[in-house]
């Protein structure tokens, strides 16, 4: 069975390269293997999720240069236990990097790890907290983005 990080990597690649690959899982898997190999030097070792997503985005941007009105930021929440004030500060820091762009993509990774550290069980209470956290981040996006800015948030 695939781990949550492996599923997040597959979702990231599917979101970025879906149009290129025709949503073909084989081609997406080939892109994943190529990125893993370039990052770790071995096809058997797995790269960390944040490093993998950054490499996937860099590859995507090389293939499809972003228009000047399009911005991208990555917010990794796996570094600390979930705290709304810390998440708010990280979110605002990410939005500052997106200032001046009309269309923005904010990739949020590590939310599950932030809420449920390794060794703990994923419970109904954790699931409810996860859903509340998603809503909290979405509300921050609505509150802190300008009306003429399109902000898309992708959760990995």
CA 68 – CA 102 distance, rounded (Å): 9
Q: What are phi and psi of 146, to 5 degrees?
A: -80, 160
CA 20 – CA 76 distance, rounded (Å): 26
- Averaged over 97-112, what is the pLDDT? 86
Domain residues of the chain, as ranges? 1-64, 66-156
Condensed to tens digits (0 to 9), the pLDDT of residues 143-154 reads 988 888 888 898
In Å, what is the CA distance from 106 to each residue of 37, 73, 120? 26, 5, 28
- How high is the mean pLDDT of the chain? 85
Angle made by CA atoms 150, 154, 156, in degrees to the nearest 5: 170
Contact 140, 91 (CB under 8 A): yes
Condensed to tens digits (0 to 9), the pLDDT of residues 20-79 reads 788 788 888 889 889 999 999 887 788 887 788 888 878 887 877 666 677 778 888 888
Q: In this model, does residue 1 exceed pLDDT 60?
A: no
- Letter string b/e over residues 44-81, b meaning 16 or more CB atoms within 10 A of that residue's CB: eeebebbebbbbbbebbeeeeeeeeeebbbbbbbbeee
- Averaged over 134-149, what is the pLDDT? 90
pLDDT at 125: 93
Q: Going by C-beta distance under 8 Å and a sequence separation of 6 or more, which residues neighbour residue 111?
A: 77, 82, 130, 133, 134, 137, 155
What pTM, to 2 d.p., does this model score? 0.65
Contact 141, 94 (CB under 8 A): no
pLDDT at 107: 85
Could you tell me what percent of the chain has a pLDDT over 70?
97
Instruction: Give me the residues paired with residue 107 across strands.
Output: 74, 154
Closest CA to 9 of 103, 22, 39: 39
Confidence of residue 16 (pLDDT cuts 50, 70, 90): confident
């Amino acid at each position: 069975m695939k781990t949550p990080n492996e599923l997040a990597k597959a979702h990231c690649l599917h979101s970025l390269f879906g149009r290129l690959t025709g949503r073909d899982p084989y081609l997406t898997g080939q892109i994943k293997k190529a990125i893993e190999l370039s990052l770790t030097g071995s096809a058997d070792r797995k790269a960390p999720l944040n490093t993998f997503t950054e490499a996937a985005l860099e590859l995507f941007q090389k293939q499809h240069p972003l228009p000047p009105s399009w911005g991208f930021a990555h917010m990794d929440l796996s570094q600390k236990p979930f705290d709304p004030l810390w998440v708010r500060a990280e979110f605002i820091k990410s939005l500052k990097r997106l200032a001046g762009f009309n269309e923005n993509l904010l990739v949020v990774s590590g939310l599950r790890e932030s809420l449920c550290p390794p060794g703990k069980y994923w419970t109904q209470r954790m699931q409810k907290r996860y859903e509340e956290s998603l809503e909290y981040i979405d509300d921050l996006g609505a509150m802190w983005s300008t009306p003429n800015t399109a902000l898309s948030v992708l959760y990995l």
